Amino acid sequence: MQVGLKIWRYDSATGDRALREYEIEAPEEATLLDCLDIVKDRHDGTLAYRKSCRMMICGSCGMRMDGAAVLACKTRMYDIAQEGRVPVISAMGNLPIVKDLVVDMDPFWSKFKAMWPWLEPGYDRPDDGREYRISQERMNVVHKEALCINCGCCVSECNAMESDPEFLGPQALAKGMRFVGDPRDGATVERLERYNREHGIWDCTRCYFCNERCPKGVDPRDAIAKLGAESIRLGIDRDMGAKHAKWFVRSAETTGWLREEELIPKTQGYVSAIKQLKFGASLARHGKVRPVPIPHVARDVDEARNLRKVVQEQDRAGALGIVQGERALARLAHGGGSESLEEIYARPGSAPRPFLPGEGSAEGQGSLTQADVTPGKEPTRKRGEA
Amino acid sequence: MPLGVDGSAADGEARCASVISVIAKHDVLVVGAGCAGMRAAIEAYDAGADVAMISKLHPTRSHSGAAEGGINAALGNAAEDNAEIHAYDTVKGSDYLGDQDAIEVFAEEAPGDIIQLENWGAFFSRREDGKLAQRPFGAAGSPRTVYAADITGHVLIQVLWEQVCKRDIPVYEEFFAWQLVEHEDRCQGVICWDLLHGGLKTVGGKTVVLATGGAGRQYRVTTNAYACTGDGMAMALHAGLPLKDMEFMQFHPTTLYPTGILLTEGIRGEGGYLINKDGERFMKHYAPNALELASRDVVSRSEQTEIDEGRGIEGSVLLDMRHLGAERIIERLPGSRELSMVYAGIDPIYDPVPVRPGAHYHMGGIETDNDGATEMTGLYAAGECACVSIHGANRLGGNSLMETITFGRRAGRSAAEWALSHTTVEVPESAERDAEARLRDLLDREGGERPWKLRDELGSSMLENFAVFRREEQMARQIEIIEGLRERYPNVYVEDKGEVFNSDLTQAIELGNMLDTALCMVTAGLVRKESRGAHARPHDYPTRDDENFLHHSITRWKDGGVELTKSEVRFTKWEPQERTY
Amino acid sequence: MSTTEPAVKRVAYYKGCLASLSAKELDSSTKALAPMVGLELVELESVTCCGAGDIHEAEPDYYLHLNARILAYAEATGCDMLMTVCNVCTLNLRQANFMLQGDEELLARVNENLATVGVPAYSGKVDVRHFLWEIAEGEGYEALKQVAHRGLKGLKVAPFYGCQILRPSKLMGFEDPDRPWSLERIIEACGGEAIDYPAKVKCCGFPIIAAREETALGEVIQPIEQAIEAGADVMVTPCPLCHLSLDAWQQKLEASTGRAFKMPVLHLAQLVGVAAGLEEAELKFKRHIVDPRPALERLEV
């Protein structure tokens, strides 16, 4: 089949960049990686990209296709070629580009290493010199986090990291959760203290790009939520983000509806909130907040209050509250047990599988020349820059 | 350097790529950072040596990570088992070519090594009682394959990388190891091409451990990654070292059609069937007891026979998992399912998957003793690139991952011990000038042939003439073909003349490595006039000939070609028997 | 003017926290608009905050139960659809719904707990949909076209989707998360011109706007700047949290950049409401920090 590709070529030393178009002949089963090989072998040997396993396990070939990070070896080109689409291929985001599609992974690995990414054994080692005895169910608390192949697709798209480059990021934090949730690790509290610092857990903006882009189903956003849940469960909750989250809980069990007007002082502290007075006043002028907060209490709120007491006594505290839903949610990707995929999707409220290129309405409008896609160009403007 | 139309430098002048510097010296240098390399480095560190790794990939990208089914040790969790049974299974699996003293050491030490990995945090699958689960695998007398769903290699790579990070072991990452430095009858370092930044760089080492993996990319249909091009074996070969048993290349029975991507033996371990186009479980004709879980060479041959005799579909047979049920497949074999869906467009819950034999594992490699030492002082080897020999003429599934750990550890320790008892390391200028000349030669060539042509021809011809079934005429022809390619190789040119991430250059070097090691393989294969393990010659020599061929083949590089000798198989307990499953 | 009455669909209505307080204009516009597009809203009272990402992170088991309670009360109205007007509520409720629908044991456990506190059981038969989806296609869309007779008169509208109405797409699934079309379709049906710009699917920063204000502002500036550059008159969003970020926090951008953006942001129901001729009493534009009325008046919309 005929495949057209537009590839952003980039030389980090000179800053030269060019969008080159290539037309190639490729077999029908070809992936994006196969097409890049054909380009490099037969058209332009200077094209630089990483590859190794070509079976979605080594994590080498992360790159952007039309601004969205993918594994080149996982991306089949058939549908795209049939549609006559010519995708734009560029390097992953949030990492400095070395050449063409090769990024500098040093910042990525240094954040990884900052997580203490190795088991810190506790004092309860098996005394017979054999393996720890752990149930599969207990290990499965982190089975998604253990799938991570360090490809960088999540990091590439992280909105929080784009705005704050020092944010540890989805990959590192998911790795952190892999150890926090491992029963053999004895350093849970120390880990959570570290992950709760600036640029840690509470920096996540919950854009869910990481979950969307991850080619292995790690769901880093959920790993971060698990870390937050464990932190709060263990009383590591001094960060403003934790306070923010706890205020939602307090609101739900007292008034039902969020006590919005108190959110900022409860998050930032009453002293800091004074700095927000002018801001608060402008909101008050437009009726968005009232000068004196009168709780807006939902009907039957005692049910919500009692509900919290009931669930707290059960054994699903912390991250287990998220883990308990994983089996059901995995069925959305897997298509369920005995039901066929068609049967699952025919159920009311069920979701179609994640979109592959070429699916969905042809009416969709997407921007192919995003600032973020163009290498060497300044990424979308940061705060404070005129 | 302005970006020209093809990325080449505008001025075309020779650039500073040719300046070599000895950038560092270490006690132990490990080349290759897969399971064997990382385990060796960890052990060397723990033995007190200053160790560094050199790898042309970031360590977690190494091909060990693609292993799926599991790692063998006689833990006895699933059923009665002990090291002796494991050793016997391995000896029989090797078709009696394996060195039995090494195999006994291996089976003895494997359980301790697995427990250590688990204690380090490896995420293995568990039994009901919380112990490590063990599944049945090919030709195993007892279920002893420890596993992590079907991503065991990934889990091992992760735990080893974590332990490397814990020790802060330096890695010369994306350094392409090119040439061994031999000086005063010792190996004293490695000359590399810095793939990421450019330039020839030498790293000195009192000892060097090669852990560079296999060379499956010699074949068009292979489970191996692009990186598996036999670089370490070629470096050793060119340094005059012996390669042992090179003719034995394992073809894995269940590689996806058409890509060659691996579907684990664990699928058959969980109960999957192999069927031909008539829906028949044909293994009952070839291995009536073990059926689908016979030894890999037996299964590959059975499949190939079915295909050759017209009972295949599009050059493949079918792997059927439907009867296992969705729940079991999703829980135990989710990776395999995803691979089938993405690369074959088939969901194994509902349909059988087309599979065929594909080049998978080099039983042969650099000759070492039981401590990983090679003939050259200061040079060690472990893992797939080495041949101790544990696997003889055929490897059992699950044994190679275990070998990387056990012998990676042994090689790392013995290298460290030697290094710590010696003080000097020196890299002579002549070695560097040599490498510089080779580099200039490759880079300066304009016009000629692009490497992919030779690579494709090698891949197709090896698959045709030196695969599951081998014939005299085909092997002889293959030697000619390889010689022809070797003649054309000096005219291969590199389009990218740049320094930064010049994978065009490294791929050209890899091609040369594959040609030389392939020549060793076929030369040894032609001379072995018997069928043993993975070397099957049903048309002219269909049986094993212990009288004349119960020995290892040794290939050396001499005067630009292959010199063939032999070496003894080391026996302890087991006499060669007829091998049936 | 068409007089065909749309068939009336009865739906449970969960307005969420912001529509109850700081974004009352969203609630009033929705309530005024819904009958015009054939929706009879049965407002749920015995409910709480859906928890947003916050309770999902702080106490995820509680999050599941709070949302199960909302779903149970929705089911108790006899409607088979629960309609939301907020991205975050939609994600939270849909996620909880899938957890319960896909795991019998979990559903049984949650129902037992609900029963303990006097909440009816949930059997998993409610579908959670955002108002956006109701009017972007099908009968709702047809009704929309009919009521938007006043039209937007070529008003240039930059749609801002935000995150959680699109991602994770295996939970949301209405449209391609990278190439969404629903807002553009509605804008055009109302006679406006849809403006395209890259940040329309990125994050507004609201979840961290209190705890990490600087980082959040680095996010919220992107859609606003890009919309202005692309020539938009106004922006529209289906999420009141995004609205708060873009509208209320816009003044903080002006403080830090020295630029007066003055980009008005409308709720979806307001945009359609303008085209349908709703009054200020229902639209309540005076509650916005950046007043949309000048831009609308300019075009005599």
Chain A positions in Cβ-Cβ contact with residue B153 (cut-off 8 Å): 57
Coil/strand/helix, residue B249: strand
Q: What is the DSSP string of A233-286?
A: HTT---SHHHHHHHHHHHHHHHTBS--GGGHHHHHH-HHHHGGGHHHHHHHHHT
User: In terms of residues, how long is chain A?
Assistant: 386
Q: How many domains does chain B have?
A: 2
Task: Identify whether B34 is part of a domain.
Answer: no
> What pLDDT score does A274 carry?
87
Q: Hey, of C112, C125, C212, C249, which one would you mutate to test binding to chain A, going by the most A CBs within 10 A of its CB?
A: C212
Chains with ≥3 Cβ pairs under 8 A against C?
A: A
Mark whether B354 and B459 lie in a shared domain.
no
A351 has pLDDT over 90: no
| C residues 127..186 contacting A (CB < 8 A) | 127-128, 163-164, 167-173, 175-181, 184-185
Residue B182: name the closest of B369, B378, B412 by CA: B378
C3 has pLDDT over 70: no
Task: Identify whether B7 is part of a domain.
Answer: no
DSSP annotation of C124 reads S
Task: Report yes or no: A2 at the B interface, CB cutoff 8 Å.
Answer: no
Residues 6+ apart with CB under 8 A from B262: A55, B66, B68, B223, B252, B254, B255, B256, B339, B358, B360
Q: How far apart are CA C60 and CA A4, in angstroms?
A: 46
Q: How far apart are CA A206 and CA B386, in angstroms?
A: 48
> What pLDDT score does A376 carry?
53
Coil/strand/helix, residue B536: strand
Q: Flag whether C touches B (3+ CB pairs, 8 A cutoff).
A: no
Coil/strand/helix, residue B382: coil
The neighbour count for residue A13, using CB atoms within 10 Å, is: 12
For the record, the structure tokens of B487 come out as 């003649």
Please give the C-alpha separations between residue A237 and each of A166, A270, A285, B352, C51, in angstroms, as whole numbers: 21, 17, 33, 52, 18
Question: At B18, phi and psi to the nearest 5?
Answer: -90, -5
Q: How far apart are CA C196 and CA C232, in angstroms?
A: 9
Q: How far apart are CA B27 and CA B44, in angstroms?
A: 9
Q: Hey, of C25, C46, C47, C59, which one would you mutate to test binding to chain A, going by the most A CBs within 10 A of its CB?
A: C59
Q: Locate all alpha helices (DSSP H) within B370-471, ordered by sequence.
A: 399-420, 429-444, 451-465
Query: What is the chain A residue with the closest CA to C114?
Result: A307
In the annotation, is B556 catalytic? Answer: no
> Which range among A290-294, B14-18, C21-25, C47-51 shows the weakest confidence by mean pLDDT?
B14-18
Cα A141 → chain centroid: 18
Task: Identify whether B311 is part of a domain.
Answer: yes
- Cβ distance C215 to A205 less than 8 Å, yes or no, reads yes
| A residues 131..170 contacting B (CB < 8 A) | 131-136, 139, 142-143, 146-147, 149-150
If you search the block for the tokens 């044909």, which residue do you land on?
B282
Is there a contact between B321 and B329 (Cβ–Cβ < 8 Å)?
A: yes
Task: Identify whether B544 is part of a domain.
Answer: yes
Please give the C-alpha separations between residue C140 and each of A59, B106, C25, C126, C146, in angstroms, as whole numbers: 44, 71, 22, 19, 10
Question: At B10, phi and psi to the nearest 5?
Answer: -70, -30
Is there a contact between B150 and B335 (Cβ–Cβ < 8 Å)?
A: yes
Is there a contact between B191 and B363 (Cβ–Cβ < 8 Å)?
A: no
The single-letter code of the amino acid at B577 is Q
Task: Report yes or no: C229 at the A interface, CB cutoff 8 Å.
Answer: no
> What pLDDT score does B474 carry?
97
The CATH number of the domain where B472 resides is what? 1.20.58.100
Task: Report yes or no: C94 at the A interface, CB cutoff 8 Å.
Answer: yes
> What pLDDT score does A295 carry?
81
Task: Report yes or no: B121 at the A interface, CB cutoff 8 Å.
Answer: yes
Residue C68: name the closest of C105, C12, C123 by CA: C123
> Which range among A364-373, B201-210, B537-546, C11-20 shows the weakest confidence by mean pLDDT?
A364-373
> What pLDDT score does B172 carry?
97
Q: What is the DSSP string of B396-422?
A: PTTHHHHHHHHHHHHHHHHHHHHHHT-
Radius of gyration of chain B (CA): 23
Coil/strand/helix, residue C107: helix
> Which range among A345-359, B489-503, C44-58 shows the weakest confidence by mean pLDDT?
A345-359
Task: Identify whether B304 is part of a domain.
Answer: yes
Q: Can you say whether the dihedral through the CA atoms of A129, A135, A136, A141 is positive or negative?
A: negative
A381 has pLDDT over 50: no
| C residues 68..87 contacting A (CB < 8 A) | 69, 80
> What pLDDT score does A375 carry?
53
Task: Identify whether B492 is part of a domain.
Answer: yes
Mark whether B439 and B535 lie in a shared domain.
yes
A349 has pLDDT over 50: no
Task: Identify whether B8 is part of a domain.
Answer: no
Query: What is the chain A residue with the closest CA to C14?
Result: A257
- Cβ distance C46 to A300 less than 8 Å, yes or no, reads yes
> What pLDDT score does A336 carry?
37
Chain A positions in Cβ-Cβ contact with residue C100 (cut-off 8 Å): 328
Average pLDDT over residues C273-282: 95
Is there a contact between A170 and A213 (Cβ–Cβ < 8 Å)?
A: no
β-sheet with C193-194: strand ranges across: C193-194, C156-159, C234-237, C265-267
Catalytic residue among B296, B301, B413, B470: B296
- Cβ distance B66 to A18 less than 8 Å, yes or no, reads no
> What pLDDT score does B17 carry?
42
Question: At B144, phi and psi to the nearest 5?
Answer: -130, 10
Please name each of the domains of chain A with its CATH number.
2-103 (3.10.20.30), 106-121+139-259+295-326 (1.10.1060.10)
- Cβ distance B450 to A45 less than 8 Å, yes or no, reads yes
Chains with ≥3 Cβ pairs under 8 A against B?
A: A
Q: Locate all alpha helices (DSSP H) within B168-295, ordered by sequence.
A: 231-238, 266-269, 283-286
> What pLDDT score does B20 carry?
60
The neighbour count for residue A340, using CB atoms within 10 Å, is: 14
| C residues 12..51 contacting A (CB < 8 A) | 17-18, 20-24, 45-49, 51
> Which range among A323-327, A380-384, B282-286, B576-580 shows the weakest confidence by mean pLDDT?
A380-384
Is there a contact between B521 and B86 (Cβ–Cβ < 8 Å)?
A: no
User: Smallest Cβ distance to A380: which of C97, C205, C222?
Assistant: C222
- Cβ distance C178 to A68 less than 8 Å, yes or no, reads yes
User: Smallest Cβ distance to A337: which of B57, B154, B327?
Assistant: B327
Q: How far apart are CA B169 and CA B51, in angstroms?
A: 7
Coil/strand/helix, residue B322: helix
For the record, the structure tokens of B366 come out as 């650099």
Average pLDDT over residues C122-143: 96
> Which range among A202-206, A279-283, B570-574 shows the weakest confidence by mean pLDDT?
A279-283
Q: How far apart are CA B319 and CA B91, in angstroms?
A: 28
Residues 6+ apart with CB under 8 A from B421: none
Residue B274: name the closest of B333, B336, B319, B321 by CA: B319
ipTM, 2 dp:
0.96
Query: What is the chain A residue with the closest CA to C225?
Result: A381
Chain A positions in Cβ-Cβ contact with residue C170 (cut-off 8 Å): 329, 332-333, 351, 353-354
Mark whether B435 and B534 lie in a shared domain.
yes
Task: From first to last of the 581 residues of chain B, give the pLDDT tens digit.
Answer: 233 323 333 333 333 344 567 889 999 999 999 999 999 999 999 999 999 999 999 999 999 999 998 999 999 999 999 999 999 999 999 999 999 999 999 999 999 999 999 999 999 999 999 999 999 988 898 999 999 998 999 999 999 999 999 999 999 999 999 999 999 999 999 999 999 999 999 999 999 999 999 999 999 999 999 999 999 999 999 999 999 999 999 999 999 999 999 999 989 989 999 999 999 999 999 999 989 999 899 999 999 999 999 999 989 999 999 989 888 888 889 889 999 999 998 889 888 999 999 999 999 999 999 999 999 999 999 999 999 999 999 999 999 999 999 999 999 999 999 999 998 888 888 888 888 998 999 999 988 999 999 999 999 999 999 999 999 999 999 999 999 999 999 999 999 999 999 999 999 999 999 999 999 999 999 999 999 999 999 999 999 999 999 999 999 999 989 999 999 999 999 999 999 88
Structure confidence by residue, pLDDT tens digits, C201-241: 999 999 999 999 999 999 999 999 999 999 999 999 999 99
Residues 6+ apart with CB under 8 A from B288: none
pLDDT over 90, % of chain A: 75
Chain B positions in Cβ-Cβ contact with residue A184 (cut-off 8 Å): 119, 121
> What pLDDT score does B11 carry?
36
Angle between helices B399-420 and B35-46 (to 10 degrees): 40
- Cβ distance A306 to C117 less than 8 Å, yes or no, reads yes
> What pLDDT score does B325 carry?
86
Structure confidence by residue, pLDDT tens digits, C54-91: 999 999 999 999 999 999 999 999 999 999 999 999 99
**Distance from A362 to chain B by nearest Cα, in Å?**
23
Tell me, letter by letter, the H, E, C secondary structure of B83-94. Answer: HHHHHHHHHHHC
E strand spans, chain A: 2-10, 17-25, 62-65, 68-71, 88-90, 97-99, 102-103
The neighbour count for residue B259, using CB atoms within 10 Å, is: 21
Query: What is the chain C residue with the closest CA to A353?
Result: C170
Task: Identify whether B114 is part of a domain.
Answer: no
Chain A positions in Cβ-Cβ contact with residue B335 (cut-off 8 Å): 57
Report the predicted TM-score, pTM, of the whole model to 2 decimal places: 0.94
Mark whether B334 and B435 lie in a shared domain.
no
For the record, the structure tokens of C177 come out as 């998360």
Domain termination residue (choose one: B344, B359, B374): B359
For the record, the structure tokens of B419 come out as 């290094």
Task: Report yes or no: C52 at the A interface, CB cutoff 8 Å.
Answer: yes
Task: Report yes or no: B489 at the A interface, CB cutoff 8 Å.
Answer: no
Burial class (CB in 10 A: 0-12, 13-18, 19+), A298: buried
B476: domain range? Answer: 430-552
The neighbour count for residue A78, using CB atoms within 10 Å, is: 18
Query: What is the chain A residue with the closest CA to C91?
Result: A208
DSSP annotation of B117 reads H
Task: Report yes or no: A130 at the B interface, CB cutoff 8 Å.
Answer: yes
- Cβ distance B225 to A136 less than 8 Å, yes or no, reads no
* Of residues C127 and A294, more confidently modeled: C127
Task: Report yes or no: C98 at the A interface, CB cutoff 8 Å.
Answer: yes
> What pLDDT score does A369 carry?
30
If you search the block for the tokens 């009879």, which residue do you land on?
C40
Radius of gyration of chain C (CA): 19
pLDDT over 90, % of chain C: 93
Q: How many CB pairs under 8 A join A and B?
A: 177
Chain A positions in Cβ-Cβ contact with residue B500 (cut-off 8 Å): 11-13, 48, 98-99
